[in-house]
Structure 1
Amino acid sequence: MLFIAPPARPQVGAHVPLDEDEFHHAVKVLRLREGARVPALDGAGGRYELAVERVERRSIELVLGALPTHEPAPGEPGAPLPRIELAVAWPKDARGEDMLGRLVQHGVARIRPLLTERTGAERRAGRRARLERLMKEHLKQCGRAWLPVLDEPASLEAVLAELADTLPAPAIHLDPRAAGSLATALAEDEGQPSAGLLVGPEGGWSPAEEALLEAAGTRSARLGPHVLRIETAAEAAAAFAATLLARS
């Protein structure tokens, strides 16, 4: 599987360029040879079949071998995935990157890193580019057609305002003390192919953040009887919501 930019003219025989990362993957990992066929994704719903015309030491020539197909965006009519927007207090270091990869595989449409009283944002040179490469690798691995949107870190107040504008039902924030389960909360939105989920930091939401959540009208829900790590809660909630909403 390769990741490509959407061709300007998606017609059979049109040449398809690769960036440096994908060239390396095609030649060094997939070891493509002349005459081979390889599937590709563009992260915007397009699925392609590419034909290899020529392979040289420092270049590879690919063309469209068939007309592409297009998958509706998550949550749209005919889409195999619901639209899940997940806001999460980002775990540190490799935990955050591992979580991001699994959220891509679970089909999350938009990932919103949260700035909370107990968590900040990692700001390392090249980090954004690294995370985008990571998402593309997991997209190719699982074969989903749409690359998630990864937002810049934002405050809880800002994220709550955006979720209220983009989703038809109130968002759900995870809380191990909640009376109702995530299944119950999602069942209230039967027929809605979308959900907004919020996962707080280790140590839980602060009193001020709980007040913001209540004022925004979000619903609290628990995943189970135990306190989970951030990434465990985020991944479990995303997988559960994707499965449950895909059935409705």
Structure 2
Amino acid sequence: MAFYDLNKQERLNVVAEISNNMLIELGTADLKNTIQYFSDEDTYIRKSAYLSLGKIYLAKPILRPKIISSLEKLLPSTDYKIRQTVINAAGEIGKTYFESVQHFFDRGLFDEHHSPRNAVIGSIKKMGEVNPVPVLGWARLYLQHEDKEIRREICHGIELRGRKYPGDILPLLQELQHDKTARVRNTLVHVIGQIAYKKGCIQTVVEHLKQWENKQLVTAALEEIIDVHDRYKDFAVLTQEQARQYIEDNF
């Protein structure tokens, strides 16, 4: 039976069982249950497992080395779901202790399967939102990587921090303004739009874009900002017309 076919109490019982079984296994060399949870076809079982492991890491400092070593044992798995869940678990830990799990993202960025790579993007988002200094510092190392997909994934990953604090990521985005790959530039324009529609953000974004040299990309970004204010009109502070007028008055 799928996780969300269960009622609320049954789901709570399943989560408690997952957490307890993984906690027991951390005291042994046997990761049988953990492997089962990390490879489960039900995404919510896998999610319950990596969330539980993140909570154990925070609550029980004595087990932290064992948790890291267990994740390191699972990362080379041939099952992409296990690798994906390892990255997500590292992401939970990295929201507080990024330096302890940085090496998982250094490897996950280059995974042959898109699911672990997407887990890296998701983890950068959730870690960068609450632990920005080390996460953004790490992300910057890959902004000029020779692989266009790495550059694109990093650009996408830092977006969430920018939705509240656009000034934190705009200098990083600026480094991509002359990227020769259309897919990277399109992601860059998309991210600029995404960080411009919340309260106080359009002012920061527009002011920063004045410093950029690639005027063609800046024009595309300004058009995206105006368009986003229509697509997200239920969440945007300004109407589309107000956003257009602000740009005309200030750029």
Which TM-score band (shorter chain)?
under 0.3
Larger helix fraction of residues: 2
Q: What TM-score results when the alignment is normalised by the length of structure 1?
A: 0.26
RCO (CA 8 Å, sep 6+): is it higher in 1 or 2?
1
Larger strand fraction of residues: 1
